[in-house]
Amino acid sequence: MTALTEHDSGTAARILAAARELVLKRGVKGVTVAEIAEKAHVGKGTAYLYWGTKEDLLIGLFAREFLAAVDADIDALTTDPDLSRPHRLCPRLVRNVLDRPFVRALAGGDADQLGATAQHPRSTELLDMLGPAALMYTVLPVWRQYRLVRTDWPLNEQAYALHALMAGFLEAAARPQVLRGVTVDAPDKVMAAAVTALLGPEEARPTEVRATANEGLRLMREGRKTLLSLITTNQETKRK
How far apart CA 68 and CA 155 sit, in angstroms, is 29
CA 216 – CA 89 distance, rounded (Å): 11
Q: Name the residue ranges covered by the structural domains of the chain.
A: 1-50, 63-234
Q: pLDDT tens across 83-111, in order?
A: 999 999 999 988 988 899 988 888 887 88
Do 213 and 77 contact (CB within 8 A), yes or no? yes
Q: Are 58 and 226 in contact (CB under 8 A)?
A: no
C-alpha 184/C-alpha 194 separation (Å) is 14
Question: What pLDDT score does 240 carry?
Answer: 45
Distance of alpha carbon 17 from alpha carbon 5, whole angstroms: 13
Q: What integer pLDDT is reported at residue 237 of this predicted model?
A: 47
> Which residues have C-beta within 8 Å of that of residue 50, sequence separation ≥ 6?
5, 9, 11, 12, 15, 57, 235, 236, 239
pLDDT tens by residue, the chain, 240 residues = 456 766 557 898 999 999 999 999 988 888 999 999 999 999 999 999 888 889 889 988 998 998 999 999 999 999 999 999 999 999 998 898 889 998 888 888 788 888 888 888 888 888 887 777 777 788 999 999 999 999 999 999 999 999 999 989 988 887 777 777 788 889 899 999 999 999 999 999 999 999 999 999 999 999 889 888 888 766 544 444
pLDDT digits (tens, 9 = 90+) for 99-145: 999 888 888 878 888 888 888 888 888 888 777 777 778 899 999 99
Whether residue 125 contacts residue 65, with contact meaning beta carbons closer than 8 Å, is answered with no
- 1-50 CATH, one of 2.30.42.10, 3.40.50.300, 1.10.10.1100, 1.10.10.60: 1.10.10.60
- Compute the distance between CA of residue 105 and CA of residue 97 in angstroms, rounded to an integer: 9
- Within 10 A of 193 (CB to CB), how many other CB atoms are there? 12
Residues 124 and 101 sit within 8 Å (Cβ to Cβ) = no
Given CA atoms 35, 38, 42, 45 in this order, what sign does their dihedral have? positive
